[in-house]
């Protein structure tokens, strides 16, 4: 037994990691608890206070997102534990927070309000910074820290189309002041002044209300389907993106055709909801989204959400799709037939086509919007037209069925 005890002591002194009781046995007879290598070594000297550290967790590809984790108290210096701080972090973090790739240590982001006490839980910040080429969909922070960087794709997909709406319609407002373009107007200025029974200020307010609904629905949708894992959603190949674009266009056209047509068939819906849009008998650019809020929610907002979900596009792709759809909608209501306008040349569904629908004789025709005319042609609601010179100057969209 004595020999066994000596052998055990020798093994303990040579291989302290094999001690099942976790105790440290030194040759001088001291027996005590082995110190934790992750804790700083206690000394009599008080080192100067260091700011808390922020650990940036990178997913390891070019679209990686940064996840910031505020650590307090700071980790021990590497010299005190013989462990790099990145290794200490891997040992301390729960498995669910460990990144796939690299861990980098950097200074803490600034605190928004350090005097305000924070609750001890994590929170997800949707607009956190992304890595090189990343979209920054999420960042995990402890209270007291904030992510700094680019705006998320979800926010861009929500607000960029709104900015595009006012910028593109503003371009047509500027062109409206050019007298030489009166020869390309589908209606005279006198018609616009007498037939439109709503002021432009009222139209602006109505559009802003609808866009507020769009923002609320869009942010809610992204919050529900958002990925909180911190991993990025990669962009598919270019061919897949093109197919997603076409799918979204067909879905949007299909939804809007049947909802739009039903609002004309149902007398109650037309009188109390859809007729608001038709108070603009002579359409103009920034009146494109002048609708009753309920119509805007049903036709545009829900139609856009369905296009996004059915096509399977990423939030980044949605930025370009909804911006394009916005440009197309504004162009269809511009009230001009401009030579060289590529949208009017490529799409049969254009400003002249939609102008027919806004007139009394075309109220039951040309329901399709904003891209194709297929449903009108399939279901017999297509009214062909031709662009003719108007007496007194200018052009007009003349329906063929009235000849």
Long-range contact set of residues 167-174: C-beta below 8 Å, sequence gap at least 24:
168/285, 168/326, 168/327, 168/330, 168/331, 169/285, 169/286, 169/288, 169/330, 170/286, 171/285, 172/284, 172/285, 172/286, 172/330, 172/334, 172/335, 172/336, 173/285, 173/286
The 3-state secondary structure of 100-127, one letter per residue: CCCEEEEECCCCCCCCCCCCCCCEEECC
Q: What is the C-alpha to C-alpha distance for residues 75 and 143, in angstroms, rounded to an integer?
A: 18
Q: What pLDDT sits at residue 9? A: 56
**Partners of residue 385 on adjacent β-strands:** 399
Q: What pLDDT sits at residue 151? A: 78
Name the pairing type of β-strands 103-107 and 385-389. Answer: unpaired
Q: What pLDDT sits at residue 336? A: 93
Residues whose CB is less than 8 angstroms from the CB of residue 271 and which lie 6 or more positions away in sequence, other chains included:
none
DSSP letter, residue 61 = S
Torsional class of 300: left (φ above 0), alpha (ψ -120 to 50), beta (otherwise) = alpha
CB 51 within 8 A of CB 115: no
Q: What pLDDT sits at residue 218? A: 86
Q: What pLDDT sits at residue 14? A: 53
Q: What is the C-alpha to C-alpha distance for residues 20 and 268, in angstroms, rounded to an integer?
A: 82
- Helical residues (DSSP H) of 44-199, grouped into ranges: 78-81, 85-92, 153-176, 189-195
Tokens 């027996």 — which residue? 31
Give every residue of the chain whose pLDDT is below 50, as ranges.
Answer: 17, 22, 25, 28, 30-31, 50, 52-66, 100, 108-149, 230, 402-403
CB 120 within 8 A of CB 143: yes
What Cα–Cα distance (Å) separates residue 70 from each residue in 35, 67, 82, 103, 231?
A: 25, 10, 22, 14, 19
Closest CA to 299 of 317, 265, 273: 273
- Interval 82-126: pLDDT, tens: 667 667 666 666 665 555 455 556 554 444 444 444 433 333 333
Closest CA to 70 of 124, 148, 146: 146
Q: What is the C-alpha to C-alpha distance for residues 355 and 284, in angstroms, rounded to an integer?
A: 10
Q: Would you give the distance in Å from CA 171 to the centre of its chain?
A: 25
- Interval 315-370: pLDDT, tens: 999 999 999 999 999 999 999 999 889 999 999 999 999 999 999 889 999 999 99
Q: Would you give the distance in Å from CA 289 to the centre of its chain?
A: 20
CA dihedral 394, 397, 402, 403 (to 10 degrees): 60
């Amino acid at each position: 037994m004595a020999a066994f005890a000596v052998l055990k002591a020798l093994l303990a002194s040579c291989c302290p990691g094999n001690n099942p009781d976790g105790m440290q046995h030194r040759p001088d007879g001291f027996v005590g608890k082995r110190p934790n290598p992750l804790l700083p070594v206690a000394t009599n000297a008080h080192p100067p206070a260091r700011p808390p550290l922020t650990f940036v967790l990178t997913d390891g590809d070019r679209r990686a997102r940064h996840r910031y984790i505020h650590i307090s108290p700071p980790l021990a210096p590497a010299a005190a534990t013989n462990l790099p701080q990145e290794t200490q972090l891997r040992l301390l973090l729960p498995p669910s927070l460990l990144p796939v790739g690299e861990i980098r240590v950097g200074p803490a982001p600034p605190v928004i309000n350090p005097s305000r006490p924070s609750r001890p839980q994590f929170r997800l910040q949707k607009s956190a910074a992304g890595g090189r080429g990343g979209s920054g969909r999420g960042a995990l922070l402890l209270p007291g820290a904030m992510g700094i960087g680019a705006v998320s794709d979800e926010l861009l997909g929500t607000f960029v189309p709104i900015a595009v709406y006012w910028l593109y319609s503003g371009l047509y407002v500027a062109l409206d002041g050019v007298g030489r373009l009166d020869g390309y107007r589908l209606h005279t200025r006198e018609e616009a002044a007498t037939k439109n029974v709503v002021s432009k200020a009222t139209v602006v307010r109505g559009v802003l209300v609808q866009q507020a609904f769009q923002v609320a629905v869009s942010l809610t949708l992204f919050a529900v389907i958002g990925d909180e894992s911190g991993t990025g959603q990669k962009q598919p190949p270019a061919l897949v993106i093109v197919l997603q674009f076409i799918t979204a266009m067909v879905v949007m056209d299909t939804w809007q055709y049947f909802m739009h047509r039903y609002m004309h068939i149902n007398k109650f819906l037309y009188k109390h909801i859809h007729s608001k849009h038709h108070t603009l008998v002579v359409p103009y650019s920034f009146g494109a989204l002048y609708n009753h809020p309920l119509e805007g929610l049903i036709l545009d907002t829900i139609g856009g959400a369905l296009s996004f979900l059915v096509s399977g596009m990423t939030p980044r792709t949605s930025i370009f799709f909804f911006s394009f759809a916005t440009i197309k909608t504004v162009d269809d209501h511009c009230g001009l037939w401009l030579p060289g306008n590529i949208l009017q040349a490529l799409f049969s569904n254009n400003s002249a086509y939609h102008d027919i629908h806004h007139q009394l004789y075309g109220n039951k025709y040309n329901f399709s919007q904003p891209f194709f005319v297929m449903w009108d042609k399939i279901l017999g609601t297509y009214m062909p037209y031709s662009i003719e010179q108007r007496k007194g100057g200018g052009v007009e969209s003349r329906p063929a069925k009235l000849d």
